[in-house]
Amino acid sequence: MPPVLVLPKVMPRRPTGVIIGSTSDEHASWSPTPVPLHARGIERIRSECEFDPDAAMRPLAAWWSPLVEQRLRVLPGGAYAYSTVVSEGPASTIGLVQDLVTVTNTLAIRAAPLVAGADLPPSFSTYLSNVTATTPTTLEVRREYLRSRFSAALADARSEEFDFGAESHFAQRIAGLVLQHGGEALGTFEATITESRMPLTVLGELFRTLGRIRGATTHDERRAVLLRFLAAPDIRVRHVAATGLAELDDPAAIPALRNALTAERSERLRSHLRLVLDQLQATNVALRHR
């Protein structure tokens, strides 16, 4: 039985250490507790605190990301305000985070609902301060979330056939993660690729997708990721990184490709690098004449 806590009479309007988020990507297909407990939690928050759950939850209608504000902290083992958007509108409560798990594409936050009880910390805010000093930051949890999403996509990709000429489901998921989470998603991808042995077929699809995404926000970061793998020890990883750079079609990669060409010993890969280099040089000329 996890400990439960009592809210203080006066709760900070923006309580340090409380993270506000949705329990699912799909706006609430999962709920950790029965609805009556949610309602009870909201009622209790409204009656006992200055904290306005409706105001806090409002951003969720526009953004489904489970972790909303980077500077707040999520508190495994601590307090956690969460929301589920059900047909009649957002419902919210505060609970105790027990752990974070991924169910298919959903980040499920297991939390004990807020209930009145004994064995409680004397002060909610003091309790939060203590917990925030010792628990992972939101950023770390976001990374864990992205790792889960990426791992799930990779697991599915292992059984997906990447047909010539068809956009894969994996590519769509990767593009979605990059568009929603930006450079943070790229950092997660890179760490996972480095730590795990990924099938080359999947890696090739990943790099092609990273090159193909049309969006200026992450353009430089995607180029940087591909360039780093251009120096990978595995010849075929270098190969698909170059393919990703061709998809990106950014002349800024020309110097690095030239260096790679100079260093490359495999004639077959050199031929591939020359092909990519030729394309980027042609793009460069076209851009200058525009």
Partner 1 sequence: MSHFVIGSLKSENWYTEADFDWLPAGGVIADCLKDLKPDGGILSVYEVEETASDDLVRRIVAAIAAGANNPRDVAYFRFPRAAVEALQVTINPDEPGRTGDDEVNALHRDLQQLSATKLAELAGAMAHGTLGRFTAKTLRERIKAEVEARRLALEKVSRKLRDELGLG
Contact residues for partner 1 (CB under 8 A)? Answer: 164-167, 200-201, 204, 208, 212, 235-236, 239-240, 243, 246-247, 249, 266-269, 271-272, 275-276, 279
Closest residue by Cα to residue 3 from 111, 125, 92:
111
| 75/99 Cα distance (integer angstroms) | 9
| 228/56 Cα distance (integer angstroms) | 41
Q: How far is the CB of 246 from partner 1 (least distance, A)?
A: 4
CB-nearer residue toward partner 1: 151 or 279: 279
Q: How far is the CB of 280 from partner 1 (least distance, A)?
A: 10
Q: How far is the CB of 166 from partner 1 (least distance, A)?
A: 6
CB-nearer residue toward partner 1: 46 or 268: 268
Q: How many residues does the chain have?
A: 290
CB-nearer residue toward partner 1: 142 or 222: 222
CB-nearer residue toward partner 1: 115 or 269: 269
Query: What burial class does residue 279 get, using C-beta atoms within 10 Å of its C-beta: 0-12 exposed, 13-18 middle, 19+ buried?
Result: middle
CB-nearer residue toward partner 1: 120 or 269: 269
Q: How far is the CB of 224 from partner 1 (least distance, A)?
A: 20
CB-nearer residue toward partner 1: 101 or 200: 200
Q: How far is the CB of 249 from partner 1 (least distance, A)?
A: 6
Q: Please answer whether residues 81 and 97 qualify as being in contact, where contact means their C-beta atoms are separated by less than 8 angstroms.
A: no
* Four-residue CA torsion sign, 63, 143, 108, 1: negative
List the Cα angle 222/226/229 in 5-degree steps.
145
| 241/206 Cα distance (integer angstroms) | 9
Q: How far is the CB of 258 from partner 1 (least distance, A)?
A: 17
Q: Please answer whether residues 207 and 244 qualify as being in contact, where contact means their C-beta atoms are separated by less than 8 angstroms.
A: yes
| 39/152 Cα distance (integer angstroms) | 33
